[in-house]
């Protein structure tokens, strides 16, 4: 199987800085914003964004985590049992702007599950979507509000986002079908 390195640590850092700047520009003080990272790698990206926003604003931006495994529409097809984690939403989502954060946007099904899970916590004023990588091939009408990088891929290829917190390094890899 062929593997191509699409992003290195320095480029990922620049992309996250740009995404934080876009959030700051759109939401000024970010006082009604809550970043919610989708388990697993979306959580680490949300934490990094929250730190960058804190550095810019001098104040902490609310941060939560969301486990969507019980809301997936493919869990009955998965080999083995889905790994059920725990969500942590520290404040009410009611009347807040929620920014869902994920690593890769592909078919849109993960985001559909995240929206469904989020609604169990209340009724946000708005929900926005931030992704590090948008690789296309949507099966649902879901589009991101903030995109780190668009990568045109085939359905046979796979995009892997590696993060230091989980994988020991920062990189984006493209695995080709063989």
Predicted local confidence at residue 86, as pLDDT: 87
DSSP assignment of 123-139: --SEEEEEEEEE----S
For residue 7, give every residue at least 6 positions away whose Cβ sits within 8 Å of its Cβ, in sequence order, or none: 15, 149, 171, 172
State whether residue 162 is helix, strand or coil. strand
Q: What is the pLDDT of residues 133-149, one digit of tens each?
A: 999 999 999 999 999 99
106 CB contacts (<8 Å, ≥6 apart)? 135, 136, 137, 138, 159
pLDDT computed for residue 70 by the predictor: 82
| H-only helix segments in 6-40 | 9-27
pLDDT digits (tens, 9 = 90+) for 1-41: 789 999 999 999 999 999 999 999 999 999 999 999 999 89
Per-residue pLDDT reduced to its tens digit, 64-117: 999 998 886 665 555 556 667 789 999 999 999 999 999 999 999 999 999 999
Q: 165: which 2 tokens? A: 């917190």
121 Cβ neighbours under 8 A, 6+ residues apart: 87, 89, 92, 93
pTM recorded for the entire structure? 0.93
Number of DSSP helices (H) and strands (E) in the chain, helices first: 4, 8
What pLDDT score does 81 carry? 60
Domains and CATH numbers, the chain: 3-75+83-175 (3.40.50.2020)
Question: Which helix (DSSP H) or strand (DSSP E) does residue 66 occupy?
Answer: strand 62-66
């Amino acid at each position: 199987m062929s593997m191509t390195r699409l992003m290195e640590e320095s480029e990922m850092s620049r992309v996250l800085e740009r995404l934080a700047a876009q959030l700051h520009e759109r939401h000024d003080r970010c006082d009604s914003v809550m970043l919610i990272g989708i388990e697993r790698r979306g959580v680490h990206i949300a934490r990094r964004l929250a730190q960058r926003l804190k550095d810019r604003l001098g104040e902490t931006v609310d941060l939560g985590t969301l486990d969507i495994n019980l809301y997936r529409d493919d869990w009955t097809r998965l080999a083995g049992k889905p790994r059920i984690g725990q969500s942590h939403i520290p404040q009410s989502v009611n009347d807040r702007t929620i920014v869902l954060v994920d690593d890769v946007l592909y078919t849109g099904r993960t985001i559909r599950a995240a929206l469904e899970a989020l609604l169990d916590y209340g009724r946000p004023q708005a929900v926005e979507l931030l992704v590090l990588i948008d690789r296309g091939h949507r099966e649902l009408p879901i589009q991101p509000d903030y995109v780190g990088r668009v990568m045109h891929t085939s359905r046979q290829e796979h995009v892997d986002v590696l993060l230091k917190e989980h994988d020991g390094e920062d990189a984006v890899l493209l695995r080709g079908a063989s």
